[in-house]
Amino acid sequence: MYKIGENPLTLNELWDVAVNKEKVVLEENTKKRIKESRKRIEKIIDEEEAVYGVNTGFGDFSNIRISKEKLKRLQKNLILSHAVGVGDKLEKSIVRAIMLLRINALSIGYSGISLNAVKTLIKMLNDDVCPIIPEKGSVGASGDLAPLAHMVLVMIGEGYAEVDGEILKGKAALKKADIKPHTLLPKEGLALINGTQVMTAIGAVALKRAINLTLISDIVSSITHDALLATDKALDERIHNLRPHTGQIKTAENIRKLFCESEIRDSHRECDDVQDAYSLRAIPQVHGASKDTLRYVKSVLETEFNSVTDNPLIFEDEAISGGNFHGQPVALAMDHAKIAVAELGNISERRINRLVHPAYNKDLPSFLIEKGGINSGLMIPQYVAASLVSENKTLSHPASVDSISTSGGKEDHVSMGTIGARKFKEIVDNVYYIYAIELLNATQALELRKPLKGSKAAREVLSIVREKIEFINNDRWFKQDIENAYNIIKKENFIKNIEKKVGKLDF
């Protein structure tokens, strides 16, 4: 169980709650902070001090005062009017991450929300009452207003939620989990929707998968390296110590571990080839640069996890309107992340091409099939990889360079960070498929080198793959093979099984 408020929330803890459904509880001092912040809001209301979003309208209506008897209605209207997202629903793990991040931010104690509101959200998270949140509609400044409003709809008994695989109206979903709908108090609607938690959640879940992907990229590329009779000279530690980027050094070390004890490598140590193509020789430099970028992105997101991003912020002596809801830090990080992961796909596709191309694949059969002509072999999976790489180039265009003024000009610069996060998620999934295709090709090539055996890691990977994918003697429906390869590398224990053979691989 994760105690909110005890320590800063990390990416691994977010993953455990969002994906593995770890439960959460409020630490006792956190409850005190929430209550104290709420008392300050009540004092503001009693003294009739004009504070944005507490007793004024929103956005361009911020100059309109709202009477005391209409303050609760103001908050409900805010949620109803802002819950206008469109498109497919966000996946459950992301919605769970959104709820966790919102709980964490509100619990820091500067949002003026009631303890009961936070407890309602915690009960929804722990009982897996998952609001239906459309993926599109946020511009990423003033926070993720539209998608977060869909989350709050369920808290107040409106909207829709998924419970036990069934989509129900909000009130019915809460009733099934024995949760009472929450009546929004002054400032609470704004506190719940004015934040960056949607872009951050999408980015965080995608980032965790991307970090795993960097290790998968090392594993799969090491098999291709072996199958294409590449030299290990470019992995020499002395080379990488002269250009000491962290990711490069760690990748070279990973590949050395993965490449050890290869009969194939030993068979061509005296060959005339002195260097390999860049997609093989420069694996540490390319994979390493992507790792360094993702490490930076992780630091940005973990800072955002533990930040207060709503408005206004309630301090001991006053309420201050600022701009912490602006998604620019996350937006720029997402655009960096997209490029870093797309590059992992770019270099993988070039290795796939070398595996199937008769001019480059060191005497392996064309398209890795022994009876070419009647069989096309692995010709078309390379097309698919090329298509995904091209699509990623389009998706990599930075979302953060665009801004469209909203709210009558009051919100005249926005981050588009949620669009960037969604595109990052899509690129990550595309690159998983590219590596599934490289895995399919590399293991086929490895077996075509028999009776010589590949590295210790390659032999383990081949054993795992052959449990689901047979050696290709003749053409068949390769779509299922690609899906099987994709599912193999997506499982968290794939990396762990290889590490049991070669030792810990470093990100």
pLDDT tens track for 343-386: 999 999 999 999 999 999 999 999 999 999 999 999 999 999 99
Tell me the pTM: 0.96
Tell me if 507 is assigned to some domain. no
E strand or H helix that includes residue 23: none
Answer yes or no: is pLDDT of 317 > 90: no
Tokens coding 381: 């999976």
Tell me if 358 is assigned to some domain. yes
Coil/strand/helix, residue 21:
coil
pLDDT confidence tier of residue 318, bands split at 50, 70 and 90: confident
Answer yes or no: is pLDDT of 270 > 90: no
- Pair 207, 176 in one domain: no
- 149 contacts: CB under 8 Å, gap ≥ 6: 78, 79, 82, 83, 84, 85, 193
Tokens coding 236: 């020499």
Answer yes or no: is pLDDT of 297 > 90: yes
- Pair 89, 147 in one domain: yes
Q: Do residues 226 and 455 lie in contact, with contact meaning Cβ atoms separated by under 8 Å?
A: yes
> At 117, which CATH number?
1.10.275.10
Q: Of 170, 195, 220, at which residue does a domain stop?
A: 195
Residue numbers annotated as active site: 52
Q: Of 154, 172, 195, at which residue does a domain stop?
A: 195
Return d(Cα 106, Cα 309) in angstroms, integer.
9
- Pair 157, 222 in one domain: no
| Domain assignment of residue 20, given as a range | 2-195
- Pair 170, 223 in one domain: no
Tokens coding 3: 């105690």
Cis peptide before 451 (omega within 30 of 0): yes
pLDDT attached to residue 229? 95
Tokens coding 305: 């996890």
Tally the domains of the chain.
2
- Pair 166, 275 in one domain: no
Pick the residue with more confidence: 432 or 41? 432
- 90 contacts: CB under 8 Å, gap ≥ 6: 98, 133, 134, 135, 147, 198, 202
Cis peptide before 8 (omega within 30 of 0): no
- Pair 190, 50 in one domain: yes
